[in-house]
Every structure is written in C-alpha cells, then in structure tokens.
Structure 1
C-alpha cells in the first residue's frame, strides 16, 4: 500500500520540504479546481519528483444545503473534472443533508426514502455532467448519513448505475455502535471483503469507546490511541486491495502528529509483514 496523509503548507518550497520529511507515498490533493494552473503544475512536478501519488481530490461541500446546494453541486462537478484531467483516481465527498445544523449534520431526514432518491439523482447528475473516464466519484461513509454500511455502498452502486461511481473507505466512520466496535476487526474485514474491488481510497485512523459512560460514547483518534488491531487491519487491506492502493492518515492537526501516526502504522505494517 501507499501510506500517507495530508501535507499543509502555503509555500510550495516549504511544502516540498514537509512532504519529503513526512515519508508519505500518497497524499490528498494540495489544490482544487480554483487553484491557479501554474501552481497546480508546480505541485504536480514535486509529487512526481518524489514518487508520491495524489490519491484523492476532496469536495467536502453539502450538495443539499438549502441555500448553497446548487453552487456546491457545481463545485463537485468541477472537482471531478479536475480529478479526471489529472488522472487522480478518487473524487470524494459526503452525501450531504437538508439539515440547517451543519454541512455534515446528523438529521432524521438523512435516512428517508426521499433523501435516498435525491442522493441517487444527484450522484448521476454529477457523474454525467463531468463525464469522467479515469476518475471515480465516491462518497465517504458516515455514522449518521448514507452510506453507513458496506451493504448500503453496494446498493448505492447498483442504484446509481454509473461505471465511474465507486467506493471511498473510512471504516472508523461507520464503527458507530457498540456491536461494531466490540467486533471491529471482523466488521473491518467484511468491509474490505465486500467492497475491495471498488475501493479507490482509504482513510486510516483508530477508534475508542468510553467504557465508563452511559450511553454510548465513540470517537475517532490517531492510530495507536484507540483499541483497533492495526496488524489485522493492515493484513486485511493488503489482502483485498492492490499493492499500490493509497491509504491516508487523517484528522491530525500538526506535522508531528502525522509523523507519529505514520511511524506507528509503519511499525505495525512491519509486524504484519505488509509492505508500505
């Protein structure tokens, strides 16, 4: 696998230095469709120089926002076009919500049949308008938004019925109940077994549950700070995904936090006999 994460720095020269220091072999795109083309080309030359794959282009906008939904959908189309133009395999977003509480809010409406139908329609529109040949549009699974299980991912792929719609894997996001947490390695294995052929990018993090509080409190955390068995997880990723599949650490706030997480996972990969 190509293990990596996100490198943040405003100056391209400093960004290159941080990229090299990170040891990352895969990264999230450090640009968007609104970035000047000359800057994009400079960043691409840096990644090519150091044999670092750009694994995914993020959208991270709510296409169902009551006020900005159409503008956000247009942005999703443009991001997918950019990913396709640059042969970046994954353009990823979340499904979205009609809630006014936030762009990724939990809301009872997220699971209605009407929302499901609207989601299928929006995914078809984005893919049809962008008409990608190399990039795939993907949804990151969420704990309180579709898709929230591997089975829902498969059903969405069937109903969207577009070749360039695929899967983004974030198994921690859908370890959203005690049953999945307490049998996490079996659940994660099932995610990769069912979805492996369709996964274009994977997010990697840990999960912990507060065993002293009622009711359930689950939270994500950096690898090594939770309860997940990374030897078994890395073996599952290696078993079901291609050897060069991108696996990205996420949601750390500093370079040092990313470095610690990378070193922890690299150590577990060596223990598991998995190449990174």
Structure 2
C-alpha cells in the first residue's frame, strides 16, 4: 500500500467515519466486529467497510496463503484506523482418530497461529476437536476421558512450540461436547498446558448445557470473567433460546437480542477488558448482523 492510501485511512480514522451505528462508536467504545459481506481487495477498502459498519474489531482479513507484504499492509492499516484484528480461525480436528485428518489439522493450526503472529491478531482460535471420525465438532463417548484431556494438552503444546509466538496466543473455544466446557475446565487446561502463549477464547453460549445454566447465564458470564479475565483474548457473540414442548432440553442459536443471553452482564464485563473484541458469528445475512450489532450497541449505550 502506498503513502497516499495510508494517509486516507488516517483521515478516515481521525474523522470517525462510523456511520453505521453511531451509539456504538460514541458511547460504548466496545470493540465489536462481524464477518464482511462486501468485497475488498486492499486494506483501504477493508477499513472503509469496517468503519461504515461501526466496527472497531475485525476477523482476519487475509488467508493462510497471503504473502508477508500483504499481511503487513493490513496490520498497518488496522493500527492506523484503531481496529483490532481479533482472531485467525483454525477450525479443524487435531484429535481425529484418522491420522491424515489429524495431521492436516495440526498443520492448519500451526499456519493459522503463524498468520496471527505476523498480522498482530489477538489470537488464533480453534475448538479442541472431537474423537469422532466424521463429526469434527460433535459428541463422542471418549471426548471427556482423561486420555482426551491429555491429548489436548499434548497437541496444544506442540502447536504453540512449533510457532513460539511472542505477541499472539493460541486459544481454544469452549464446546459442550469436549474440554474445555466450563470456566474450571479452562483453568485446568491453562495449568496443564503451561504455555504463556495459551489463552482463552470466550463463547458463553457454548457453555450453556442445561436449563439451570440457561436461566442463570448471567452468573455463568460473571464466573467466566472472574476466573479467566486476564486470559481472555476474544469473545463470540450470539444468543440462545430454549425450545418449548420438548421432553429433553433443546437449544437453538439466534441473533443477539432474540434469546435469553444476558448481554447487560456480558457488556459490563467486557468494559473491564477494553481491548478484548466481541465478534458476532453464525448469522446468515448482513442485515442480521446489523440488527445484532444494533442490539448490543444499545445495551452498551444504556
């Protein structure tokens, strides 16, 4: 990127070109981001899209095959515009019983962590995986065994040691199917993995595994921030409803504002960690993301 482009980005940043959701920018200062539906082919266009939406955080804008000059140009543009690159997704199954699948997942995690390090992202994130051969993020009878816990520790250490990051972190997102599934499980993994570059990616929705937790999810969120606060590098935002007229509990994800997750507590806790982004996910349209951002920004502004 040339000097003129960086100058234009700086002007946009100083002018606060946040026309999408002004309450978010002017009142909450919450670092929030969404997947982008508009196309971009340079850092300047990327920044303009984010600022138009009112985002102060972003998913990684480049893929694993990006060259280092491109990576650095996006990193510089993000710094000028005061945008935090929240995370590089490494979604894969390094625990797969299929060796080829596990090896490919390990390689993807290593490359993703390296990209996070090069672009200055807060973290690289994956789930632990699953012992299921076909369903990489689903249940299996061995997922909560001691052997699986030990395997998560071993694989995570190897990923981190392969890259040896100095300014980013490798994180695991909680899932109801496997470790870590709770704040205490995170603490056990943090102690067992014993690497400074291992941290937490918080998604409280993924920890809601019963009606008792569902109806008191504000307490769950408080517990997570109380126990894990210094280790949290990025958060996911979504919402949850408990289906009616079923004999066994069934949950369904919805956009923020349509469910029962306690966003007043979530936003209040995030204010204590101003550089930790809140990233919306799993929605289908740009309009849904806009509505979700509007809901969260109104909570923050109030």
| TM-score, scaled relative to structure 2 | 0.84
Q: Distance in 1 between matches of 2:64 and 2:257?
A: 35
Q: Distance in 1 between matches of 2:37 and 2:165?
A: 28
CA shift for structure 1 position 12: 2.1
Aligned residue number for residue 33 of structure 2: 4
Aligned residue number for residue 58 of structure 1: 89
Contact 1:5-1:24 at 8 Å conserved across structures: yes
Q: 1:224 aligns with which of 250, 253, 257?
A: 257
Q: 1:18 aligns with which of 23, 37, 49?
A: 49
Q: Distance in 2 between matches of 1:236 and 1:211?
A: 30
Q: 1:47 aligns with which of 63, 78, 82?
A: 78
1:176-225 per-residue CA deviation (whole Å, 9 max, x = no partner) reads: 11111011111111111111111011111111101322210112211111
Q: Distance in 2 between matches of 1:258 and 1:45?
A: 26
Q: 1:29 aligns with which of 49, 60, 68?
A: 60
Q: 2:203 aligns with which of 170, 175, 179?
A: 170
CA shift for structure 1 position 154: 0.2
Aligned residue number for residue 140 of structure 1: 173
Contact 2:221-2:265 at 8 Å conserved across structures: no
Contact 2:71-2:118 at 8 Å conserved across structures: no
CA shift for structure 1 position 39: 4.0
Gaps of 5+ in 1: 272-276
Q: 1:254 aligns with which of 285, 289, 301?
A: 285
Aligned residue number for residue 274 of structure 1: none
Other structure's SS at 2:220 match: helix
Q: Distance in 1 between matches of 2:102 and 2:275?
A: 35
Q: Distance in 1 between matches of 2:286 and 2:49?
A: 8
Size of the aligned set, in residue pairs, is: 269
**Alignment RMSD (CA, Å):** 1.8
Q: Distance in 1 between matches of 2:285 and 2:67?
A: 26
Spell out the pairing of 1:117-128 with structure 2 (5 A cutoff): 117-128=150-161
CA shift for structure 1 position 33: 2.2
CA shift for structure 1 position 87: 2.2
Contact 2:75-2:120 at 8 Å conserved across structures: no
Contact 1:185-1:232 at 8 Å conserved across structures: yes
1:13-70 per-residue CA deviation (whole Å, 9 max, x = no partner) reads: 6645432321110011122322244543454454345322101111001112313211
Other structure's SS at 2:143 match: helix
Q: Distance in 1 between matches of 2:230 and 2:78?
A: 26
Contact 1:8-1:15 at 8 Å conserved across structures: no
Other structure's SS at 2:142 match: helix
Q: Distance in 1 between matches of 2:231 and 2:82?
A: 24
Q: 1:90 aligns with which of 118, 123, 142?
A: 123
Q: Distance in 1 between matches of 2:138 and 2:270?
A: 29
Contact 1:7-1:30 at 8 Å conserved across structures: no
